[in-house]
Structure 1
């Protein structure tokens, strides 16, 4: 479908300034590519300018990874010339001819059950999913967003046993209820990031957004936050295998209910589960451990060490000396169990390094040796 707006100005006149933008889109997009893609839209009307706007607007960020979003399943095909390059750069050389793989069998894991609670304070496994046939949050209409909520809400209402939960609409929650749920980390606030607003994800807030959680509050779902659905299993200890087992059980049931109602999650053999942000393609899975590493985290090459272990980090809250979150870096090209195992192995290695620092050992040579691998 041609983009009729292209007739008013030339591609050169419309091409964005990207010299100071530090993201994969800005590094991959060229004026010639923009000229070719500008005349196209997806069947639902998503354009290349819609795709890149967040990466254009947020040039001040040190690095926001992708710099582009998909508005629907077809975006990754219509704008493949750009997305293929962004995906290859973001996901360790994953090429357009590569295929994703999946494995959700917890029996294939080694360890992850008795991690040292002196260093590991929490475990979390969460994923994002999209409903086929509906536009993604950067591009969906109000009616589509409400339809997404209806589909997901009906599926979640059928979840039974220990995972049985209740749904709460953000629009209907009082300020007191919201404050309590935010404190319990069961509720998501309206995103304030300009990256999210430039992606058009926060339109019509809080219309058709909601949360669902079970009685133990260790299995919960967010509806129409950044993606159609985000499902989380958590532990207040280091037993990430238990969190993963619960996640596998719950996701299997939710997906079965989605299918029984005539819908399905968007998946293909190349990109795995399709979501708005290219960084979350593949498993769309994040395996996160809350860790106390006061000595190791202050090492000048800590981030490099994490990168070699295929991990990332971030503060779990803003208090001085609080735990840091350590989680997998990307999920495309790796199965679910491979990602969980990567985090288990990486966390065990970080614990061993922290113990060496506690004993007064110098770990610089070990970090340097890992760097050389």
Structure 2
């Protein structure tokens, strides 16, 4: 109900303790921060579009926790959510982003020429490379809160704006969706989705679409060809992805930066720039993606290093994280891991991708030594 808040005013007929959710079995950042006193303080507040505290926390109430990751447990419904409910969001952001304080300022750097190296990751070990981010469009509420009309307006703006980008060819607009092959359907379901992860949006929100590009050629479950694509109205207004087979992260990042900046320029000319501020960087639906919203990752074979006693410690020191190749809930297949940057907020896009490039290169060198039966103790890095 983006533009009416009768439901929240009705709740005020009940005492705060009668409305306070039972979080006794919850394990997420929201449950750690939200107290009865804080709930009482914030529950009657709302953003200009009508997003309330209960709207903010509903995903964390519905999803008590996750077996593999510490979830955030709350979402923003509009740009103003982070201000109106800052007493809740600020400590969550600080906890989730390594002590990032309310007074800190974020850095943005989308100059791909500032990345050092990245074109020499050994393709015998690095199977594919990818960089993705999200963007929110000013003037509209965010996907957990926006109306059907807003979703359609975002889609219309995207379909009108993106043809001006060099990367565009038509995809499947909602108003004229054509039949998809089974392979294409599987791609739409898997190319950037994290199966099983708590999600603030309906499973198939109205207005969700995939905008295909000239370079976008997929095989289900694989990133086999050069690609650049845009999702519309998923978790964020836009999800921009660049990926290709092999270890040329430099080229993947170049295409990502060039395409993303062209898209941003087009949206600015249309009177709808992206949401951004000095403190939070790019404003996105989930607090975990504030800042750059960027996840730069590679699928890399680490058959020996992954069995090493200090594998987890090495990842932590390099400020990297691992997943299975099928997403956050999956295990490695054939000792192939999805290795990506752990940080989003407080460091720039270039810095985050640089950590991936340097860290993966070091881990491949470690893997080669372990294959020869040699020790790697002298290669274990200091904490980044």
The TM-score, its normalising length taken from structure 2, stands at 0.88
Q: Deviations over 1:82-113 (max 9, x none)?
A: 10001001111110000111111122121101
Residue in structure 2 matched with residue 38 of structure 1 by the alignment? 43
The 5-angstrom pairing of residues 223-242 of structure 1 reads 223-242=232-251
Residue in structure 2 matched with residue 268 of structure 1 by the alignment? 277
What is the alpha-carbon distance in structure 2 between the residues aligned to residue 56 and residue 362 of structure 1?
Answer: 47
What is the alpha-carbon distance in structure 2 between the residues aligned to residue 31 and residue 206 of structure 1?
Answer: 32
What is the alpha-carbon distance in structure 2 between the residues aligned to residue 336 and residue 60 of structure 1?
Answer: 29
Q: Aligned-pair distance for 1:150?
A: 0.9
Q: Aligned-pair distance for 1:242?
A: 0.6
Residue in structure 2 matched with residue 352 of structure 1 by the alignment? 365
Residue in structure 1 matched with residue 353 of structure 2 by the alignment? 340
How has the CA–CA distance of structure 1 residues 99 and 303 changed in structure 2, closer, same or farther, with 3 Å as cutoff? same
What is the alpha-carbon distance in structure 2 between the residues aligned to residue 263 and residue 237 of structure 1?
Answer: 36
Selected match of 1:129 from 131, 135, 139: 135
How has the CA–CA distance of structure 1 residues 299 and 261 changed in structure 2, closer, same or farther, with 3 Å as cutoff? same
What is the alpha-carbon distance in structure 1 between the residues aligned to residue 268 and residue 284 of structure 2?
Answer: 18
Q: Aligned-pair distance for 1:171?
A: 7.0
Selected match of 1:284 from 269, 289, 293: 293
Asked if the contact 1:315/1:322 (under 8 Å) is kept, the reply is: no
Selected match of 2:261 from 237, 242, 252: 252
Mind listing any 5+ residue stretches in structure 2 that lack a counterpart?
A: 217-226
How has the CA–CA distance of structure 1 residues 363 and 190 changed in structure 2, closer, same or farther, with 3 Å as cutoff? closer
The yes-or-no answer on 1:180 pairing with 2:183 is yes
What is the alpha-carbon distance in structure 2 between the residues aligned to residue 192 and residue 352 of structure 1?
Answer: 31
Mind listing any 5+ residue stretches in structure 1 that lack a counterpart?
A: none
- Number of matched residues? 364
How has the CA–CA distance of structure 1 residues 103 and 279 changed in structure 2, closer, same or farther, with 3 Å as cutoff? same
Q: Aligned-pair distance for 1:137?
A: 0.6
Q: Between 163-172 and 151-160, report the one with greater CA deviation.
A: 163-172
Asked if the contact 2:140/2:150 (under 8 Å) is kept, the reply is: yes
> Larger % of helix: which?
1
The yes-or-no answer on 1:323 pairing with 2:327 is no
Q: Between 306-315 and 71-80, report the one with greater CA deviation.
A: 306-315
Query: What SS is found at the alignment partner of 1:214?
Result: coil
The yes-or-no answer on 1:77 pairing with 2:83 is yes
How has the CA–CA distance of structure 1 residues 22 and 300 changed in structure 2, closer, same or farther, with 3 Å as cutoff? farther
Asked if the contact 2:211/2:231 (under 8 Å) is kept, the reply is: yes
Q: Aligned-pair distance for 1:349?
A: 1.6
Q: Between 263-272 and 310-319, report the one with greater CA deviation.
A: 310-319
Asked if the contact 2:12/2:44 (under 8 Å) is kept, the reply is: no
What is the alpha-carbon distance in structure 1 between the residues aligned to residue 106 and residue 179 of structure 2?
Answer: 43
Asked if the contact 1:101/1:335 (under 8 Å) is kept, the reply is: yes
Query: What SS is found at the alignment partner of 2:339?
Result: strand
Q: Aligned-pair distance for 1:173?
A: 4.4
What is the alpha-carbon distance in structure 2 between the residues aligned to residue 85 and residue 22 of structure 1?
Answer: 15
Residue in structure 2 matched with residue 67 of structure 1 by the alignment? 73
How has the CA–CA distance of structure 1 residues 351 and 190 changed in structure 2, closer, same or farther, with 3 Å as cutoff? closer
Q: Deviations over 1:253-276 (max 9, x none)?
A: 111111111111101111011110
The TM-score, its normalising length taken from structure 1, stands at 0.90
Q: Aligned-pair distance for 1:148?
A: 0.9
What is the alpha-carbon distance in structure 1 between the residues aligned to residue 186 and residue 307 of structure 2?
Answer: 28
Residue in structure 2 matched with residue 92 of structure 1 by the alignment? 98
The 5-angstrom pairing of residues 107-126 of structure 1 reads 107-126=113-132
What is the alpha-carbon distance in structure 2 between the residues aligned to residue 100 and residue 60 of structure 1?
Answer: 29
